Amino acid sequence: METSVYEDKAKKITAEIKEILDVKGINLDFSNDNSIISKESAERIFSGSVIPTLAEFLALCELSGIAFKLPSVETPDNPM
**Domain assignment present for 75:** no
**Domain assignment present for 73:** no
pLDDT at residue 23, rounded to an integer: 92
Give the pLDDT confidence of 10-46 residue by residue, as tens digits: 899 999 999 998 898 887 765 555 667 777 888 889 8
**Domain assignment present for 58:** yes
pLDDT at residue 16, rounded to an integer: 94
Task: Give which of 31, 33, 24 is closest to 63, Cα–Cα.
Answer: 24
**Domain assignment present for 70:** no
Give the pLDDT confidence of 39-62 residue by residue, as tens digits: 788 888 989 889 999 888 988 888
- Total domain count for the chain? 1
Residue 67: pLDDT above 90? no
What is the phi/psi pair of residue 26, to 5°? Answer: -80, 120
**Domain assignment present for 76:** no
CA dihedral 47, 52, 55, 59 (to 10 degrees): 30
Q: 15 is in which domain, residue-wise? A: 2-64
**Domain assignment present for 69:** no
